[in-house]
C-alpha cells in the first residue's frame, strides 16, 4: 500500500477513534443525570472525566515511546517499577503516620509526595544508573524487575504487621480510582505533563529514526544514547504522573499500545501515539461508565483492565510471529 494511502486510511481510523472518545465522554457526563441537578452532577463528573483523559494520555503516549526505545512490543512501562513504588509509598505513609494524617487524607499532599518520590527515583535510576550501565536497555528492564520485587516485598511486610483497621483504609488507595478528584491536582498534572513534552520535544521528533537501531541513528547524526536516556526518563515521569493521579493500572499500556500498532500498521510515531492515547481514553471512559451504571462500583475498572490485559498479553505471545 502506498504511503499516502496509508496516511489517509490511518487518519480516518484516528478520526473514528476520536468520535468514539467524544461519544463515550458525552455518555459519561449525561447518563442518569437529573436535569434539576445538572450543575451538581457536572461538578462531580467533569473532574473525573478529565482525570481519565489525563491518565490515558500519559499512559498511552509513554507506552508507545517505551516499546520503541526498548525495541519490543510486548513490554509495558509497569516493568519500570512505578506501580510497586506507588503502593509502597502509600503503605509507608499509613504505617508511619496513620490513615488520618494529612499525607493520607489530603489529595494535594498525597499527589505531591507520590510525584516527588517517584520523580526522584526515576531520575536517579533511569538517568544516572542508565548512563553508568553504558546505555544498555536490558539492564533497565532488569533494574525495573528487581525494584518491583523489592518494593513489593517491603510493602507486603508492612501490611502484615499493620493494624487491621489501618489496612482496611489503605486498600482503597491501592487500586485505580477516579473518585474524590479535585481541580488542583488536575492542573498540577497537566503542568507536569506539559513540561515533560516541552523538555522532550526534540527527542520525540526523532523516534522514527531511533527505531531504526543505534548504528543507523548515529549515522544519521542522532546522539542516540542521550536521546534514549532523556526519553526513558520522560516515560518514567509520565507513568509516575498517571499513577499518582489515579493509582496503578497494570497492563493498560500494553493493551492500548498494541491495539494502536495493530490498527494503524505504520512506523510513524505521531499516528501510533495518537492511536494509543485515543484507545486509552475509550477504554477508561467507557469502562468507568460500565463500572458505575452496570456494576454499581462493585468492581473497580482496574480489575477489568488487569484481567483483559493478561489475556491479551498471552494472545500477543502466541501470535507475535504473525502480527
User: Over the stretch 34-46, which tens digit does the pLDDT of each residue have?
Assistant: 888 888 888 888 8
Mean pLDDT of 155-177: 82
Percent of the chain past pLDDT 90, that is, above it, reads 27
Whether the predicted pLDDT of 303 surpasses 60: yes
Angle at 259 between CA 139 and CA 252, to 5 degrees: 60
All residues at 6 or more sequence positions from 194 whose CB lies less than 8 Å from its CB, including other chains: none
Q: How far apart are the first and last CA of the chain?
A: 17
Closest CA to 190 of 111, 78, 251: 111
User: Over the stretch 143-165, which tens digit does the pLDDT of each residue have?
Assistant: 888 888 899 899 999 988 888 88
Q: Distance from CA of residue 87 to its chain's centroid?
A: 15
Name the grid cell of 222.
542522532
All residues at 6 or more sequence positions from 184 whose CB lies less than 8 Å from its CB, including other chains: 107, 108
All residues at 6 or more sequence positions from 20 whose CB lies less than 8 Å from its CB, including other chains: 278, 282
Q: Distance from CA of residue 82 to its chain's centroid?
A: 10
Q: Distance from CA of residue 152 to its chain's centroid?
A: 19
Angle at 320 between CA 216 and CA 203, to 5 degrees: 35
Q: Are the beta carbons of 114 and 240 closer than 8 angstroms? A: yes
Name the grid cell of 224.
542516540
Whole-angstrom distance, CA of residue 274 vs CA of residue 260: 8
Mean pLDDT of 242-251: 83
User: Over the stretch 9-22, which tens digit does the pLDDT of each residue have?
Assistant: 999 999 999 999 99
All residues at 6 or more sequence positions from 44 whose CB lies less than 8 Å from its CB, including other chains: none
Neighbours of 199 (CB within 10 A): 14
Neighbours of 42 (CB within 10 A): 14
Name the grid cell of 56.
490515558
Give the H or E element holding residue 259. helix 252-264
Split at pLDDT 50, 70, 90, the class of 181 is low
Specify the DSSP class assigned to residue 223: -
Report the range of poorest mean pLDDT among 19-28, 101-110, 175-184: 175-184
Q: Which has more pLDDT, 10 or 124? A: 10
Name the grid cell of 53.
483523559
Percent of the chain past pLDDT 70, that is, above it, reads 94
pLDDT in the model for residue 306: 83
Whole-angstrom distance, CA of residue 108 vs CA of residue 125: 25
Helix (H, G, I), strand (E, B) or coil at 31: coil
Helix (H, G, I), strand (E, B) or coil at 95: helix
- In this prediction the pTM is 0.88
List domains and CATH numbers for the chain: 3-319 (1.10.3470.10)
pLDDT in the model for residue 284: 92
User: Over the stretch 46-61, which tens digit does the pLDDT of each residue have?
Assistant: 888 999 999 999 999 9
Amino acid at each position: 500500500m502506498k504511503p499516502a494511502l496509508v496516511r489517509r486510511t490511518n487518519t480516518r481510523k484516528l478520526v473514528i477513534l476520536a468520535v468514539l472518545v467524544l461519544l463515550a465522554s458525552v455518555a459519561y457526563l449525561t447518563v442518569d443525570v437529573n436535569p434539576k441537578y445538572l450543575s451538581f452532577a457536572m461538578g462531580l463528573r467533569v473532574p473525573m472525566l478529565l482525570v481519565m483523559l489525563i491518565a490515558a494520555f500519559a499512559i498511552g503516549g509513554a507506552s508507545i515511546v517505551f516499546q520503541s526505545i526498548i525495541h519490543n512490543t510486548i513490554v509495558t512501562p509497569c516493568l519500570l517499577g512505578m506501580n510497586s513504588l506507588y503502593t509502597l509509598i502509600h503503605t509507608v505513609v499509613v504505617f508511619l503516620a496513620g490513615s488520618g494524617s494529612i499525607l493520607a487524607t489530603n489529595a494535594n499532599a498525597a499527589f505531591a509526595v507520590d510525584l516527588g518520590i517517584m520523580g526522584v527515583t526515576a531520575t536517579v535510576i533511569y538517568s544516572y544508573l542508565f548512563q553508568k550501565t553504558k546505555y544498555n536497555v536490558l539492564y533497565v528492564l532488569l533494574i525495573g524487575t528487581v525494584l518491583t520485587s523489592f518494593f513489593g516485598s517491603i510493602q507486603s511486610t508492612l501490611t502484615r504487621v499493620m493494624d487491621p483497621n489501618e489496612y482496611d483504609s489503605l486498600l482503597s488507595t491501592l487500586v485505580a480510582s477516579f473518585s474524590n478528584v479535585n481541580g488542583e491536582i488536575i492542573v498540577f498534572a497537566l503542568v507536569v505533563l506539559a513540561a515533560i513534552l516541552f523538555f522532550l520535544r526534540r527527542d520525540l521528533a526523532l523516534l522514527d529514526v531511533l527505531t531504526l537501531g543505534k548504528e543507523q541513528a548515529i549515522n544519521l547524526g542522532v546522539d542516540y544514547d542521550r536521546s534514549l536516556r532523556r526519553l526513558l526518563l520522560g516515560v518514567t515521569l509520565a507513568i509516575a504522573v498517571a499513577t499518582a493521579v489515579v493509582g496503578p493500572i497494570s497492563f493498560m499500556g500494553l493493551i492500548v499500545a498494541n491495539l494502536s500498532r495493530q490498527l494503524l500498521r505504520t512506523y510513524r510515531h505521531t499516528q501510533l501515539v495518537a492511536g494509543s492515547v485515543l484507545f486509552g481514553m475509550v477504554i477508561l471512559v467507557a469502562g468507568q461508565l460500565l463500572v458505575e451504571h452496570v456494576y454499581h462500583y462493585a468492581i473497580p475498572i482496574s480489575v477489568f483492565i488487569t484481567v483483559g490485559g493478561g489475556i491479551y498479553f498471552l494472545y500477543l505471545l502466541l501470535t507475535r510471529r504473525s502480527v
